[in-house]
């Protein structure tokens, strides 16, 4: 209880006299391992005390705690809470603290893990998720989105009976798509919806199902291939972007190294987040990408300027940790790798500092491609550097290859040349 010595007498008594008392030390140790600040630890202790007081009032044993219990506390008790002051009532802090509590109690075996969905639909979704993971190598976020869409389709047709894809008719798929687009009719949602359904039906063909009639009723929203121009940064904007990582920017060495990885090697945000120290061969000057799209492994040359940026981050700013990830969190929970969203936020914040209105991290890959073309590289070489599986993916850069376009341009009708 020394971890929460700053608690006022009343909340401290609530905590010590509750069924959570035997788990206080484990909760504090969990926060300590995550290197949470002392102020945050004290705040979470106050949240725990409020929850313990509510448990005592409701005569709830600790063994029944789960996400539903936490929701009941937050949604039913908190809006009309009349617990005596001082008491912690900040919703976000309470949810965060109680999330940690459930993790601790499950690690101790006090409460059960969240039950897995059961039934024919749940089994089908698990098999499809395993296929996307092991056979296709799709990211967790992509798999989650597609499983969510397919789950809605299966519930639409097989809510109370076994899943038999042969019973799914084109009219069922057409009606499902119409209902989904009524809820959100944006072009991006329509594209995601049709892509998820096509991917699932292609998977079902590998299971022996005949789904050509179902695929035929799925029409994508109008999208002209290669209609747009790739948005890239001009050389002056690149210089301003790199110069924006001054000492006043939090974790500026990490941010600078992240941008260099995207700008010099064309790494995707997910690939940057998954880099590990062992992936870098400093002597050979190479980077091995082991966790890329479609389960491929690629070995890329490490440009000298990128290597210096990474070495500067590792030597002078990377926190001391046993985690093998190259880029790790600076804030609690520490000793954890940063996520894809953190990489994108670093790049987006850098754009904002130099006054760029767009925030797509992919623009740095486009910038590398444009730079290669300007120096005389072919589209095949661009495709190799960006690791496009199909050369067609790189054809969009032909639209900005001005020197080669000039060479094949025909004279304007009626002109002298």
Active site residues: 268, 293, 362, 365, 388, 397
User: How many whole angstroms separate alpha carbon 23 and alpha carbon 29?
Assistant: 10
Tokens 């608690």 belong to which residue? 7
**Cβ–Cβ under 8 Å, residues 66 and 111:** yes
How many angstroms from the chain centroid is the CA of residue 141? 6
CA distance from start to end of the chain = 88
Q: Which residues pair with 281 in a beta bridge?
A: 286
């Amino acid at each position: 209880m020394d971890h929460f010595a700053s608690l006022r007498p009343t909340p401290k008594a609530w905590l010590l006299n509750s069924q959570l008392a035997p788990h206080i030390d484990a909760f504090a140790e969990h926060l300590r391992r995550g290197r949470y600040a002392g102020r945050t630890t004290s705040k979470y202790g106050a949240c725990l005390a409020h929850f313990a007081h509510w448990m005592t009032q409701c005569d709830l044993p600790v063994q029944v705690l789960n996400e539903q219990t936490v929701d009941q506390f937050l949604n039913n008790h908190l809006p009309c809470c009349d617990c005596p002051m001082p008491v912690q009532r900040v919703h976000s802090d309470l949810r965060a603290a109680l999330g940690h509590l459930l993790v601790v109690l499950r690690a101790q075996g006090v409460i059960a893990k969240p039950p897995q969905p059961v039934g024919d639909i749940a089994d089908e979704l698990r098999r499809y998720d395993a296929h996307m993971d092991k056979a296709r190598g799709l990211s967790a976020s992509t798999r989650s989105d597609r499983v969510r869409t397919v789950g809605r389709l299966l519930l639409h047709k097989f809510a109370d009976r076994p899943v038999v894809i042969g019973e799914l008719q084109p009219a069922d798929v057409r009606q499902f798509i119409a209902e989904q687009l009524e809820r959100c009719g944006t072009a991006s949602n329509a594209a995601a919806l049709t892509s998820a359904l096509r991917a699932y039906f292609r998977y079902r063909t590998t299971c022996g199902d005949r789904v050509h009639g179902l695929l035929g009723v799925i029409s994508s929203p109008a999208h002209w291939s290669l209609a747009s121009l790739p948005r890239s940064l001009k050389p002056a904007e690149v210089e301003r972007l790199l110069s924006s990582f001054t000492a006043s920017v939090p974790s500026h060495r990490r941010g600078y190294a992240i941008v260099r990885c995207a700008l010099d090697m064309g790494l995707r945000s997910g690939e940057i987040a998954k880099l590990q120290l062992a992936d870098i061969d400093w002597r050979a000057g190479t980077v091995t990408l082991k966790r890329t799209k479609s389960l491929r492994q690629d070995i890329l040359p490490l440009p000298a300027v990128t290597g210096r940026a990474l070495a500067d981050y590792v030597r002078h700013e990377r926190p001391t940790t046993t985690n093998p990830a190259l880029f790790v969190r600076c804030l609690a929970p520490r000793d954890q790798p940063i996520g894809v969203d953190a990489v994108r936020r670093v790049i987006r914040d850098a754009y904002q500092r130099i006054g760029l209105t767009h925030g797509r991290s992919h623009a740095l890959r486009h910038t590398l491609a444009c730079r290669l073309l300007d120096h005389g590289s072919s589209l095949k070489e661009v495709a190799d550097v960006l690791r496009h599986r199909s050369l067609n993916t790189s054809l969009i850069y032909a639209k900005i290859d001005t020197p080669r376009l000039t060479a094949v341009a025909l004279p304007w009708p009626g002109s002298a040349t």
